[in-house]
Structure 1
Amino acid sequence: MLLTTPRRGRTALATGACALLALTGCSNGGNGDGTAPASTSAAPTGSSAVPGAMRIVIENFTFSPADFQVRPGDKITVVNRDSASHTLTATGDKAFDTGTIGAGATATFTAPSTPGSYSYLCTIHPNMKGTLTVT
């Protein structure tokens, strides 16, 4: 009887481990067709997956990316992750301006139709700067 008890314990442990591995393998979030699941990032920066779209994140009083390139008429979404309000405003002729973006809010603007380099800043925090290049 003493010999069967340890064996049952090892068998139960091995069975449990196999079951756990099987469940983990089944819960990969895939499509069931062998393809890998799509990546889900809570904080993508830079170009978004949508053609003609761009995403800029404001965090720690910084634009990320600060310098970027778009095509004329592209939509640019600005996400404010700071606890303070910000703007993303073109300097000079004010070719674009998000207006005030509250803490945790987003705003969208359209890139100018004229190619060129456009400096921008946060009008509330002028030390926050960047450059939008339209090509």
Structure 2
Amino acid sequence: MPSAPGEAQRQTSRLWPDLPIWRDLSTVRPSLARRLVALGVVPALVFAACGGGGNPAPASYPPGAIVVTAESQAFDTAELVVPAGRPFTLVFVNRDSAQHNIAIRTEQGFEGDLVFRFDPISASTVTLEVGPIPAGTYFFLCEAHPFMTGTVIAN
């Protein structure tokens, strides 16, 4: 149906006959046009601000902390570099429902002397203080999942 000059062409939705569909927002009253645009823009900005998935932002950890994450039955790093002869902070993040821990040993696997360990945890984060480790190369593993391994370099 033709419109009078200065009027927007109006149609109705098949699903909601009372809901007008405007073809040309430039001819709609400015206040209504702003509202229609805001209805589209504001939710888009809100959803963008919420992130919508992906990796969560990193948490705030103590300065200088060594952070290791266990996720999908794997550590996020294969090598840890720690200060030799000085205590350090280890933050362990377990994103799995399965229990994980870290044991540091002088040799790979369960061989060699135990340098450090903590009890396995499920789906949580722990902050641990690790005593001084002499300079050298060590090995870390999850005792519940011995295929989860890595190297520790103290220098």
**TM-score range, shorter-chain basis?**
0.5 to 0.7
Secondary structure of the structure 2 residue equivalent to 1:5: coil
- Mapped to 2, the partners of 1:64 and 1:81 lie a distance apart of 11
- Mapped to 1, the partners of 2:103 and 2:61 lie a distance apart of 24
| Partner in structure 2 of residue 107 of structure 1 | 126
Question: CA contact under 8 A between 1:52 and 1:70: conserved in structure 2?
Answer: no
1:127 and 2:147 correspond: yes
Identity %: 28
1:70 and 2:89 correspond: no
Q: CA deviation at 1:56?
A: 0.8
Alignment partner of 2:5 out of 3, 6, 13: 3
CA RMSD after TM alignment? 3.2
| Partner in structure 2 of residue 34 of structure 1 | none
Question: CA contact under 8 A between 2:61 and 2:91: conserved in structure 1?
Answer: no
Matched residue type, 2:116? F
Structure with the larger strand share: 2
Matched residue type, 1:126? P
| Partner in structure 1 of residue 20 of structure 2 | none
Distance 1:5 1:112, change over 3 A: same
Question: CA contact under 8 A between 1:96 and 1:109: conserved in structure 2?
Answer: no
Q: CA deviation at 1:16?
A: 4.8
Question: CA contact under 8 A between 2:94 and 2:124: conserved in structure 1?
Answer: yes
Question: CA contact under 8 A between 2:142 and 2:149: conserved in structure 1?
Answer: yes
Distance 1:133 1:109, change over 3 A: farther
1:54 and 2:66 correspond: yes
Aligned residues: 117
Secondary structure of the structure 2 residue equivalent to 1:96: strand
TM-score, normalised on structure 2? 0.59
Secondary structure of the structure 1 residue equivalent to 2:33: helix
TM-score, normalised on structure 1? 0.66
Per-residue Cα deviation, 1:75-99 (whole angstroms, up to 9, x for no partner): 0111111121112001232211021
Question: CA contact under 8 A between 2:95 and 2:124: conserved in structure 1?
Answer: yes
- Mapped to 2, the partners of 1:73 and 1:97 lie a distance apart of 14
